[in-house]
Amino acid sequence: MKTINRDECVSFIENIKMHFKENFPFLKDEDRDNFINRFDSLLEEEEFLEDKINIDNLIKRLQQIIVTLDNSHVDLSEKGKEIFKLNKELYYKAGIVWVDTDDEPLEVVSVNDTPISQLIDEEVKNIGGGTLEWKKYKAVNKIATSKQEYGVIITAKNGVGGEVKVDAEFEKNRNKRFKIKVENGMERSYKREDCLESKILEGNIGYIRIDSWSNAIEIDGKNIAQLVEEELEKIKSSTSIILDVRNNDGGNSHYARLVASHFIKEKTECCHFLVKKPGQKDMVKFTEHVAPEGEFYDKKIVILTGPICISSTDMFLTFLKDTGRAVSIGQTTGGGSGNPQSLDLHLGGRDFNLRVSCWRNYRNNGQEIENNGIEPDIFVEPRPDDIRKRRDVELLRAVKYLIDKSN
């Protein structure tokens, strides 16, 4: 059991408090003081008055305090920790957790005899910020990771209610996002189609899937915005375009803005921010605009959205949906924005990272994006039977919408 002395504990917490005071955009001084006082109260608890303090217990308690901010871009995590990932993909859709098989997706009932609903409820408590659907999506991702290797039994049911047992294992996760992909235990470099896809659909409708705005994406020496531009060139003869960002959980908003700029005719106000800067007591308000850049695509635009869409993808919706340039179809987005400022911390020979949001993002209608998300213009959600039959109802609805509009 790794322990530290109390002076180390106090110093660690003081650094955390200072990072929050300097960066987090509290709306009221009272909110800031109440939050900071929770760290001071922690230091007065009997466990943390001892000469030897358990590091893991301390980190857990600090994380419990931090999650009360209910902000999607605030967290305290350990760096360099080895992660094991379930070799059977679990995913959350239509209010259900699924596991794929060769025959059909199966509805997950339990993992090692613990009901999946119980596992999700436990994980959601430890996730700060975003809509409830976003938190459930994140919870399923956490359930599918572990700190050690071991086997599990997934109990699921098929479309007729029959019980199916699926063997799975937590395996060493060698993936480096958008650098190395692991398939059947073998490593390979990421390819364009892993994060991006374009094609022409019926009715001469162009389609582009964009799964991330990450800085880590670099394929053939090009970033994600440049790659999207190449895909746009391939479908420029289409009469309309569907931008599918349902699996895009953010990244660099600059890339999202560059892509959006191809569909904008003139500089347009899209949202505003309240920003907390170190050394300044009051927040600064500034207005965000999206402006034309590069080739303009004068076509009807539909954006497919869902609860995974968060952060820079929420902003992408403000660039195009909230300016009236595009129609969104699907479900409400994840609802998160924060431009987190990172602080590296060291404790007992271990390395940690604290991320703290420094802004609040508001839509043109005045609604804060955090925890609310951006609702679709046309709500479409798959039913369980759609998922079992691998029927993409959001995409089908988007195609119908654009064909109807062209007639």
Which residues, at least 6 apart from 247, have a Cβ–Cβ distance to it below 8 Å?
209, 211, 308
Residue 159 — φ and ψ, nearest 5°? -65, -20
Positive or negative, the CA dihedral 129, 134, 135, 140 is negative
- Strand 326-330 versus strand 300-305 pairing type: parallel
> DSSP assignment, residue 195?
T
> DSSP assignment, residue 236?
T
- Distance between CA atoms of residues 159 and 148, nearest Å: 33
Average pLDDT of the segment spanning 161-180: 79
| Residue 261: Cβ within 10 Å count | 18
Residue 258 — φ and ψ, nearest 5°? -60, -40
Q: What is the residue whose two structure tokens read 């294992």?
A: 169
User: What's the pLDDT score for residue 56?
Assistant: 93
For 30, the 3-state DSSP assignment is helix
- Distance between CA atoms of residues 44 and 27, nearest Å: 27
User: What's the pLDDT score for residue 188?
Assistant: 64
Domains of the chain: 3-69 (no CATH), 84-173 (2.30.42.10), 192-339+359-406 (3.90.226.10)
User: What's the pLDDT score for residue 179?
Assistant: 61
- Distance between CA atoms of residues 336 and 129, nearest Å: 7
Cβ-in-10-Å burial (0-12, 13-18, 19+) of 220 comes to exposed
Predicted confidence band at 184 (pLDDT cuts at 50, 70, 90)? low
Average pLDDT of the segment spanning 274-288: 92
CA 75 to chain centre: 13
Cβ-in-10-Å burial (0-12, 13-18, 19+) of 397 comes to middle
User: What's the pLDDT score for residue 276?
Assistant: 94
In this structure, of 39-43, 141-145, 278-282, the range with the lowest mean pLDDT score is 278-282
Beta bridge partners of 197: 209
| Residue 34: Cβ within 10 Å count | 12
User: What's the pLDDT score for residue 313?
Assistant: 98
Average pLDDT of the segment spanning 350-370: 96
- pTM comes to 0.93
User: What's the pLDDT score for residue 186?
Assistant: 58
Q: Is the pLDDT of residue 190 over 80?
A: no
Per-residue pLDDT reduced to its tens digit, 197-252: 999 999 999 999 999 999 989 888 999 999 999 999 999 999 999 999 999 999 99
Q: Which tokens is 195 given?
A: 């994060």
- Distance between CA atoms of residues 327 and 320, nearest Å: 8
Which residues, at least 6 apart from 352, have a Cβ–Cβ distance to it below 8 Å?
59, 76, 77, 78, 79, 344, 345, 346
Average pLDDT of the segment spanning 302-310: 97
Positive or negative, the CA dihedral 227, 229, 232, 236 is negative
- Distance between CA atoms of residues 136 and 94, nearest Å: 11
Averaged pLDDT score across all residues of the chain: 93
Per-residue pLDDT reduced to its tens digit, 136-170: 999 999 999 998 899 999 999 998 999 999 999 99
